């Protein structure tokens, strides 16, 4: 990685915070969203990172996102709650939902927090992992606008609806985090922005023909992971998140990159399961850790790479992080464009003048 495509994380975060504040977000909301987006970039998941910030800013300007909202509890049954997010920034209401879920699970053994009128919250794994960091099992899901056809169909009828489950181990949680499409929409958008192809089996054209063209994929439909199995899981997530929250289901959820004046209307579900009481937490963590070690140490095919568990790739990326984040040129230019529009100063480190500065030379 060269300094030409990597920038100081603290500079990027400072710009993200300044942009959000200039758009009307309170400082704590702005800091939380900026941190969440940068964490995705640090984990080398650019499809969930700063790539989305220009769209967030456009939606705030368009009126479909309220940068100051934190969500309102509209149903409280102790271990079961519903939050109306009020179209607030997704990371803000997701953070609050996690805090409520872990607190209530500690009191009741189990807690479910359903969220309606929610906005994009980035990587679901961030929030499942947050729950797991308290010694509880975290389950997080969300629905999106329809992007997947039913098996054999060509019409998008259900979202690619992400699911994350995180289990504590006493160290790094084991974190499953995936959308129900064969490839994430964010990765397809990233490929389209770079003019790169997508893998076979990720999408089909509007006519139902297989395609590796990212732009054609955006016009067509994504294909579900594992065929009918991924499709079935996507349907159930829609019913759990949208159904329990009395929020949007299916086509009621709007395109994320659609009309900036029309709310996204996604729905989320956060679950926290208290382990202590069912068995000692130390015993559970030891069992999970031992199982993880056994899997990672299992034999591989000749010349094969070491076995990884869910979440290992992101954890390894965090361990390699050296203070600099990769950022696509198109994303950087979009951020600069919004900075000029909002009257925010562009840091020298993000300009051509700053690229060669010795204080950012990591040799």
Asked if residue 353 lies in contact with residue 3, where contact means CB atoms within 8 angstroms, the answer is no
Catalytic entry in 48, 52, 108, 120? 120
CA 79, CA 101: separation in Å to the nearest integer? 8
Regarding beta strands 80-84 and 110-118, do their DSSP bridges make them parallel or antiparallel, or are they unpaired? parallel
Q: Is 120 a catalytic residue?
A: yes
Q: Closest Cα to residue 96, out of 123, 121, 133?
A: 121
Question: d(Cα 11, Cα 18) in Å, to the nearest integer?
Answer: 11
Residue 54: its H or E element = helix 53-62
**Catalytically annotated residues:** 120
């Amino acid at each position: 990685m060269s300094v030409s495509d990597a920038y100081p994380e603290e500079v990027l975060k400072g710009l993200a915070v300044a942009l959000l504040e200039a758009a009307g977000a309170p400082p704590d909301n702005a800091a939380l969203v900026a941190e969440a987006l940068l964490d995705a970039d640090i984990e080398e998941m650019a499809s969930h990172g700063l790539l989305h910030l220009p769209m967030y800013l456009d939606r705030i300007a368009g009126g479909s996102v309220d940068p100051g909202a934190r969500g309102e509890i509209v149903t409280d049954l102790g271990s079961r709650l519903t939050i109306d997010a009020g179209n607030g920034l997704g990371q803000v209401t997701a953070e609050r939902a996690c805090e409520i879920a872990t607190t209530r699970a500690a009191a009741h053994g189990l807690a479910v927090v359903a969220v309606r009128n929610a906005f994009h919250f980035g990587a679901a794994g961030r929030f499942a992992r947050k729950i797991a960091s308290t010694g509880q099992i975290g389950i997080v899901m969300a629905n999106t606008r329809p992007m997947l056809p039913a098996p054999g169909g060509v019409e998008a009828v259900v979202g690619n609806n992400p699911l994350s489950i995180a289990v504590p181990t006493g160290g790094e949680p084991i974190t499953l985090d995936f959308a129900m499409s064969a490839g994430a929409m964010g990765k397809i958008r990233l490929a389209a922005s770079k003019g790169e192809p997508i893998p076979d089996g990720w999408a089909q054209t509007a006519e139902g023909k297989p395609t590796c063209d990212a732009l054609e994929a955006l016009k067509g439909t994504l294909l579900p992971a594992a065929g009918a199995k991924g499709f079935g899981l996507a349907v159930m997530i829609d019913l759990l998140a949208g159904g329990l929250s009395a929020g949007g289901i299916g086509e009621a959820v709007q395109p994320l990159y659609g009309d900036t004046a029309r709310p996204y209307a996604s729905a989320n579900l956060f679950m926290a399961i208290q382990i202590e009481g069912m068995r000692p937490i130390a015993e559970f963590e030891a069992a999970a850790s031992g199982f993880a070690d056994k899997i990672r140490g299992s034999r591989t095919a000749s010349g094969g790479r070491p076995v990884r568990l869910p979440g290992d790739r992101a954890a390894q990326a965090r361990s390699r992080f050296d203070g600099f984040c990769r950022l696509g040129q198109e994303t950087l230019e979009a951020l600069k464009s919004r900075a000029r529009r909002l009257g925010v100063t562009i840091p020298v480190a993000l300009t051509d003048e700053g690229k060669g500065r010795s204080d950012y030379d990591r040799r």
